[in-house]
Amino acid sequence: MTTHHFTRQEPHRRRGVLRRATAPVAAGTAIALLLAACGGGGGGGGGGESDAEFNEGESAVVNPSDETGGTLRYAISADFDSPDPGNTYYAFSWNFSRYYARTLLTYTEAPGEQGIEIQPDLAEELPEGNEDSTEWTVRLKQGLRYEDGSEITAEDVKYAIARSNFGDQALPNGPKYFQDLLADSDDYEGPYADEGDPLAGFDGIETPDDHTLVFHLKKSFSEFPYVLIQPQTAPVPADADRGEQYQSQVVSSGPYKFDGEYRPGVSLNLVRNEEWDATTDPTRRALPDRIEVELGVDQNEIDQRLVNGELDVDLSGTGVGPAMKGTVITDEAQRHNVDNPQTSTLRYININTVMEPLDDLACREAIMFAADRDALQRAWGGDTGGDIATQIMPGSLPGADPSLDLYPSEDNKGDLAKAQEKLEECGQPDGFSTAIGARADRPADVSTAEALQQALARVNIEAEIKQFPSDTYTNTQAGSPSFVADNDLGLTVYGWAPDWASGYGFMSKILDGDAIQEAGNANISEIDDDQINEWFDEVVSVEDADERASIYGQIDERAMEQAVILPAVFERTVLYRPANLTNVYYHAGYSMFDYMSLGTTGD
Amino acid sequence: MTAPMDVPESSQHAEPEAVVAGAKDAASRSLRQIAWQRFRKDKVGMTGGIVVILLILVAIFAPLLTAWFGYPPNQFNQSLVDPLTGGVLRDPNDPAQGLDPWGGISAQHLLGVEPVNGRDLFSRIVYGARTSLLVATVATVVCVVIGTVLGILAGYFGGWADVVISRTMDIFLAFPLLLFAIALVGVIPDGAFGLSGNNLRIGVLVFIIGFFNWPYIGRIVRGQTLTLKEREFVEASRSLGAGSTHIVFREILPNLVTPILVYSTLLIPTNILFEAALSFLGVGINPPMATWGGMLENALRFYTTSPHFVIVPGLAIFITVLAFNLFGDGLRDAFDPRSSD
């Protein structure tokens, strides 16, 4: 049973950002302080000596230290999709691959909202776009070297982007933003098509010299720097590339290099890369001497070994399994070793806008008013499972307004009088019937559907629950408008996390009318609102970030007015933080601990 | 069914079965009466039988039982549950007292409540019995009908009919049933066969379990038919000019009733387990309808904080399967004492 990762079918699993200053978070911290005070000094387990507090790592660095040495021990219940930086889409892998793969740009090493600010990594400074944001120039730092001492060039970065994005043999796992965005490259068949000159015909990126890259885009895209954070921008020397097999021995540009080959399903070990120059790298501390990853360890065993101090980090970053969760958050001796940060994943219910009677706004509003948000939060594990959401964008994204609450009710239990009023307005005073789609193998999804069904029944909206397997749900059931129509799926339980920390990265796939597709559709409510579409078209050429943020705020509010998404919670994870870990904090850009800063006091 | 009461007690104890069976009033007793005589003395089998009857009554009178002793099975009682962990509170009015290790068992909630939603477990177990027994029984009937018809055809007519049917049974027995069930439930569209929602799900479960488990009955019926058709009374019938129809329906079938009854009773618990397995995997009945397998699956998330939630549906499945098995074994021993050796 894997609880550790998001499946590939959830296309935007990449976590973005979060800011933690919302009211529920503050309340949670207060409770935590109180409890920590009561249980103060409790010993036992893998680290009773720590004087850290519950959830301290969400907003601060726990056990700060510059001490180097020791072995950092990771384990995960499944495996990488691939440790090749050009061929991965798992959030933990984007975080972990930074040990051996430096990218053009990167997130800042800092807790809280500062973490999502972009910094140069291989690049000398943040790139500037031209007038209409269609041309971006990036200059590399001088003197950067691979593990074998050879120099990192602009051509290597261009090659890395080519292999992960272009042609029939492009590496399959990662997203394809460059393919969508780069101009003059539609006929390029990828580096594996022409052995002699792998980059012939790839004109979307120019490399006028060894340290300069010029990106030409098809259209204005003011958020292009976010795309340059992807591990796909890590350099790959063309003569070392072996396609998908490159994963067994990635050539390192970072502080660590592979010790032996990556063994799928078994292990990956890293040792120091002496060619890495710390003075060129502001975001990697490189404290441990050695890093070991065990693959394919049972989740319950991982959790138990974390608590016993026999393991340092659960690589998946999605928190302890449900069995251990109940124990560590209630046990006074363990609680202070637990972080419970809010991630940027929204759990929500799509309300379809094209099938009767939900094509009538008032009928959708009736559902918004009738929903019991308190019960929805309980279905997601209560206060430690997530914070009740009343808007679409996670509170941390620029432009989000947590005070937006268009469908208020006492104790969040729903406003039945208002719901009845809306039902009468849409000509369904006696209620109507529809169905709720949910993923059968996701217990929290099913609980959410049950809670919603109970709440809607209070105003005679009869919603039958239909279950589907999660590996086909996002593509062929909820993700197919014709399937949705045939099966009367007026409501569908869903989750979403941004590929990058902006309103565009979060909302464009789920709210833009142009994003509706026949299969793999994420705009499941099928909202095709002229006003929202226009804002999305407009925002990509706006250069000023604050101006963009205010447009995102408008889109969020408009979508809530249109009652197309019933937000349930902004999810929280329960991360265990063994006492021997140093420099631990939750990184908003990856929605887990920042692996680059971690050190250990053990051997 | 009346048991002869005039057998002296001493002889019942002192004398072996054969003597009892061949005692003075043997002529007045049918095989069934003799079997009942034996079964009554089998305490284990009787206990199983009583539990089975109780379970059937519970399933039939589920709405009455929950009205008297419980709550509507899908009703949330979230005030009983700790919102932080989802566990059941010791005292809903004083959350500081922590979680109740017994899952809120009280006079109101006889078996406690489930975590997170606080639904009454007694009601859900009672309604779960309905689902389990309904699916298992109907599926067993399907098995029996198909198995008996094909088994008699194969056994009585022999030849190519036997070859075709017997090989078909081999194929069905080798079928990866669980995988097929999972795939089929995913593929059948809602509204197929004029059924939708849980009616369709129940129909599909009955079909899968019934249609793929018939060879077990089929093989037994075939074997019995093979021996029966060589017996003197059948030969006698045939020599008097009776046709196949008469022989099958009048001579062979009545003698098959007993083994069919016995093996049906033993097939029901297998089918209950199969239904629970499918519900556990999420391909059975849709929530919120209560099923034991579904409850068990849900409970695994909470086994550290609310162990009772695992134990209650687990015990329900365990007791039901055990009772049916003991009952079936008892029946078999009663009808055919030699088979137990």
| CB neighbour list of residue B67: distance below 8 Å, 6 or more residues apart | none
Distance from the Cα of B177 to chain A's closest Cα (Å) equals 18
pLDDT-based confidence at B25, cuts 50/70/90? low
Longest dimension (CA), chain B: 86
pLDDT-based confidence at B86, cuts 50/70/90? confident
Residues B82, A382: C-beta atoms closer than 8 Å: yes
Phi/psi of residue A325, nearest 5 degrees: -55, -50
Q: Which residue has the higher pLDDT, B70 or A510?
A: A510
Q: Are strands A462-468 and A433-439 parallel, antiparallel or unpaired?
A: parallel
Average pLDDT over chain A, rounded to an integer = 88
Q: Which of A242-246, A461-465, B89-93 has the lowest mean pLDDT?
A: B89-93
First-last CA distance in chain B: 28
Kindly state whether B125 is in contact with chain A, defined as any CB-CB distance less than 8 angstroms: no
Q: What is the pLDDT of residue B1?
A: 41
Q: What is the pLDDT of residue B26?
A: 52
* Angstrom distance (rounded) from CA B22 to CA B28: 11
Residue B33 pLDDT more than 70?
yes
What would the DSSP string read from start to end of A329-383?
HH-HHHHTTEE--EEEEEEEEEE-SSSTTTTSHHHHHHHHHH--HHHHHHHTTGG
Yes or no: say if A380 and A24 are a contact pair by the CB < 8 Å rule. Answer: no
**Among candidate residues B318, B11, B196, B275, the one with its CA nearest the CA of residue A489:** B196
How would you class A416 by CB atoms within 10 Å of its CB: exposed for 0-12, middle for 13-18, buried for 19 or more? middle
Q: Give CA A594 to chain center in angstroms.
A: 14
Q: What is the pLDDT of residue B277?
A: 87
Residue B341 pLDDT more than 50?
no
Q: What is the CB-side half-sphere exposure of residue B218 using CA atoms within 13 A? A: 27
Query: Which residue in the set A378, A449, A469 is minimally distant from B78, CB to CB?
Result: A378
Residue A209 pLDDT more than 90?
yes
Q: What is the pLDDT of residue A315?
A: 95
**Among candidate residues B302, B316, B106, the one with its CA nearest the CA of residue A381:** B302
CB–CB contacts below 8 A, A to B: 91
Give per-residue pLDDT as tens, B205-223.
Answer: 888 888 888 998 999 999 9
Average pLDDT of A241-257?
95
Q: Mind listing the domains of chain A with CATH numbers?
A: 2-291+575-600 (3.40.190.10), 345-572 (3.10.105.10)
Q: Which of A27-31, A323-327, A334-338 has the lowest mean pLDDT?
A: A27-31
Give per-residue pLDDT as tens, A13-36.
Answer: 333 333 333 333 333 333 333 333
Angle between helix B308-335 and B253-280 (nearest 10): 170
Average pLDDT of A258-282?
95
Name every residue in A having a CB less than 8 A away from some CB of B: 322-324, 326-327, 329-330, 374-375, 377-379, 381-384, 440-441, 443, 446-447, 449-451, 453-454, 464-469, 472, 486-487
Q: What is the pLDDT of residue B203?
A: 87
B300: chain A residues, CB-CB within 8 Å: 322-323
| Cα distances (Å, whole numbers) of residue A552 to A21, A514, A538, A560, A590 | 19, 17, 11, 12, 21
Q: Is the pTM of the predicted complex or chain greater than 0.90?
A: no
| Cα distances (Å, whole numbers) of residue B295 to A105, A350, B215, B279 | 48, 27, 31, 9
Residues B287, A446: C-beta atoms closer than 8 Å: yes
Distance from the Cα of B190 to chain A's closest Cα (Å) equals 7
* Both tokens assigned to A413: 């239990």
Average pLDDT of A388-412?
92
Q: What is the pLDDT of residue B331?
A: 87
Give per-residue pLDDT as tens, B100-157.
Answer: 878 888 888 888 888 888 888 999 999 999 988 999 999 999 999 999 999 999 998 8
How would you class A123 by CB atoms within 10 Å of its CB: exposed for 0-12, middle for 13-18, buried for 19 or more? buried
Q: What is the pLDDT of residue A349?
A: 97
| CB neighbour list of residue B61: distance below 8 Å, 6 or more residues apart | none
Angle between helix B292-299 and B308-335 (nearest 10): 140
Average pLDDT of B162-183?
87
Average pLDDT of A287-295?
96
Q: What is the ipTM of this complex?
A: 0.74
Residues B78, A374: C-beta atoms closer than 8 Å: yes
* Angstrom distance (rounded) from CA B255 to CA B225: 9
Q: Which residue has the tokens 């907003």?
A: A59
